[in-house]
Structures are given as structure tokens and as C-alpha cells.
Structure 1
Amino acid sequence: MIRDRDSKYTAAFDDVFTAEGIEVLRTPPRAPRANAYAERWVRTVRRECLDRMLIYNQRHLLAILEEYVAHYNDHRPHQARHQQPPNAADTPPPSVADLTAARVRRRKILNGLINEYSQAA
């Protein structure tokens, strides 16, 4: 497990993981880029979701993050995966549809903050 050197992580925190056989690695001091994947995730979820909403309490935050994570992994395009979401099968993207003849369905995510579009049957 990779973690930063924040004082909230006590020796007891590390002991729990060590007892399970998990090696705890601490990032170097004053190196915010040491855990680039986590930093990128935090920046994305803040920019696309949390900075645009008023969070009432922890329960509300967890509900919002759960819905956003489902969108992020199942629908949101990722440039490194050729515009496919992480949970998509490794199949080529569908052919381009003629939108003058096709019906498009919109699904609101996070009360309309994000919209997902798909072709209606």
C-alpha cells in the first residue's frame, strides 16, 4: 500500500496492514507527484463533480462519490483507452450512427450535473 506521510497515519494504522502481510510504502517527503495516479483521480473527481456541488454531510458525499465512480468506470471516455471506459470490454468502438435517423436517450447523473447518452432501441 502506498500512502503519504500525513500525521493522521499512526504506527497503529501501519500495523494493521503489516499484520495482514501488506507492505506499507510511504511517499517521499514534499513530493506530491510521487503518487500520480491518486493525485490525478482526486483532481478529476473534484473538477468534474465535487467543486460543482454543495455537500451536506458524509452520507451525502458517499452517495455522490458512489454514483460518480460508477459513471467514471462504466461510461466516461478515457483518452488512454481510445475513448472507452475502464470497465468496457476490449472491443472496438461501435460504428458511427446517423443521428438524423437514430434516437438518442439521455440519462441524468448526479441530478443532471453529468449526462450520459446512448442510442435508444
Structure 2
Amino acid sequence: MRSHPALIDEILADAGIRAVLTGVRMPRMTSIMERWVRTLRRELLDRTLIWNEQHLRHALRAYELHHNEHRTHRSLQTAAPLRPLPQPLEPERIASLRIRRHDRLGGVLHEYRHAA
């Protein structure tokens, strides 16, 4: 049984979007997606003026890359999902560290790297 009318499915299908229903007796699935949508809104969509569908798709793709390749995750011990766990630094190297910032999407997202 669907939780929303068939008309919504038709509208989404016309836009190339397929609705995926959550599994039966899988309450964590809904909570994980709600957390993802909340994070996406807070970190990107609430800070960005979206002009059209092409701009939205570009922004979502840039955020996906940022989230999976650069954004640190506490549950992964400050690693990103598609990046290996960073090696610990020796205390004497910390004072001489040079960090470079790279902005994405006009400065909405910031990525930091060690300068060579």
C-alpha cells in the first residue's frame, strides 16, 4: 500500500524520478533518509538560491561529491566515506602545517587540504 497518491508517482515518473518505498519492518531505513535530507537542506539547499532544474542537479552532484569525498564523518573517525582514514600527525609537524581551502558552489561548501 502506498502512502501517497498515484498522481504523485506519475508526476515523479514524468521528471525521471522513481519512488522507492521503504521496506516492511525496516524503521531505520526511513530514519537514515530523513537524516540525509535534513543534512542536505541545512548544509546546501537552505543556503543556495536554485535557478532551475539543471542548477539543482549540478548543486546536488557537487554536494554528493563533497559529502562522500571530503566531508568528515564522526562515525568513520573523521574520514570521508570514499577516502581512507587520515594518518595521525606527529606533534612537531602540526606547527608547520599549511592548509589550503577550496570553495565549491560559490563558497557554500568548503574543502580543506594539506598544501604540498
TM-score interval, smaller chain: 0.7 to 0.9
Aligned AA (2:87): P
Q: Provide runs of 4+ in structure 1 moved above 4 Å.
A: 24-28
Give distance in 1, aligned partners of 2:29 and 2:80: 25
* Count, aligned residues: 101
TM-score (norm 2): 0.73
Q: Give the structure with the higher percent helix.
A: 2
Tell me how far 1:63 sits from its aligned partner. Answer: 0.4
- Segments of 5+ residues of structure 1 without an aligned counterpart are 14-23
Cα deviation per residue 1:86-111 (whole Å; 9 max; x = unaligned)?
1123x4x2223644322211111111
**Identity among equivalent pairs (%):** 39
Q: 2:9 aligned with 1:9, yes or no?
A: yes
TM-score (norm 1): 0.71
Aligned AA (1:40): R
Match of 1:62 in 2: 57
SS at match of 2:72: coil
Aligned AA (2:38): R
- Segments of 5+ residues of structure 2 without an aligned counterpart are 14-19
Q: What is the aligned-residue RMSD (CA, Å)?
A: 2.5
